[in-house]
Amino acid sequence: MNASPFAIVPAWLKDFRAIAVALIADDGRIVEANEGFLMTLAGITEGFSTSNFIEPSFNLLCHSPPQADGLIYHGLLTLGAPEGARRSFSGRVYRMNQMLFVAAEMDISAFEQMNDEIGKLKKELDDVRRQLSKRNHALQSALEEMSEMKRHDPTTGLANRVILDQRMEEEIKRWERSRRPLALMLMDMDGFTKINADYGREVGDEVLKHVATVVMQAVRSVDVAVRYGGQEFAILLPETNEMGALIVAERLRMDLEGQIMLPVLEPATASFGVAIYLSGEQREELYARAWRALKHAKSHGKNAITMAGVVGECDHLYQSGSPQSLDQ
């Protein structure tokens, strides 16, 4: 669109939509117009003919004699593109030399039409917002599911060590407030390496799943059972003293010892290391004592339970099962 040499339309009216202002040549060409006028003509720009788009007819306006002040028409004006919507204005048309100057104010019906259009746009915007909300909800659910998957072992479905570490910190703080007993049990499958070697990883995974089921059946809802490592499990037992922890360990040991998981022809036994939280102990220190007790049970025949003392010399073996022939 070429810049017009005229400046009849004030700058402040250029973007105004409620008022239509235009300077039109005798041949119907739009010389200059504001946004309100061009918007009404549905995409017509300056330089295009408008003689077919004004009522009363453009020819009638061009041949109307002007009054002393140049006014040639005062009343209802209807503007609009041939195939588009039309809008009514209350306005005036003046003759300025060989041109017509149109100044019109949109009437109530036009405002109502614009309100309808705004209402439709608002509805479309609301629909888009609802769709975005649904997508955001689905995305949030997917992120939460991914986060949950990262916190659980995919083979057994048990929580992983991240959960255990978090709960351990929480329970230690609770112990500092209440001085209620807290126990940690580490459990290592005896001969699991040989099971994998003899029967394959798929059978080994099935054994781990079965062991996880046995563990979950033996613990309370307040306890935390996790897969600690490849063939290792850990159970955090709040509100549990030394005797209570030994009872849980012995029940698990007996449950595993008494079951055959085909095609494995021997029981998949386990060894246990149990430690009771000591005042002022760090989480890593509690782990270390439980791990030391577990190694003690493994080195003294397996299928057994060792209760950790304050130091290694105080560790006590509960030899409940018979030595196994499977390699560690």
CA angle 91, 34, 90 (to 5 degrees): 15
Residues 61-71 pLDDT 10s: 888 888 988 89
Q: Please give the pLDDT value at position 282.
A: 92
Residues 168-227 pLDDT 10s: 999 999 999 999 999 999 999 998 988 988 889 899 999 999 999 999 999 999 999 999
**Domain 11-106 shares a fold with domain 161-318:** no
Dist. CA 43–CA 81, nearest whole Å: 8
Using the Cα atoms of residue 274, residue 279, residue 282 and residue 283 in order, give the sign of their dihedral.
Answer: positive
Superfamily assignment of 11-106 in CATH? PAS domain (3.30.450.20)
Q: Which residue ranges make up each domain of the chain?
A: 11-106, 161-318
3-state SS, residue 238: strand
Dist. CA 250–CA 239, nearest whole Å: 18
Whether CATH 3.30.70.270 fits 161-318: yes
Residues 274-304 pLDDT 10s: 999 999 899 999 999 999 999 999 998 899 9
Residues 27-57 pLDDT 10s: 878 888 888 777 766 655 555 555 555 678 7
- Distances from the Cα of 32 to the Cα of 1, 73, 81, 99, 289, angstroms: 11, 19, 17, 11, 90
3-state SS, residue 25: strand
End-to-end CA distance of the chain: 87
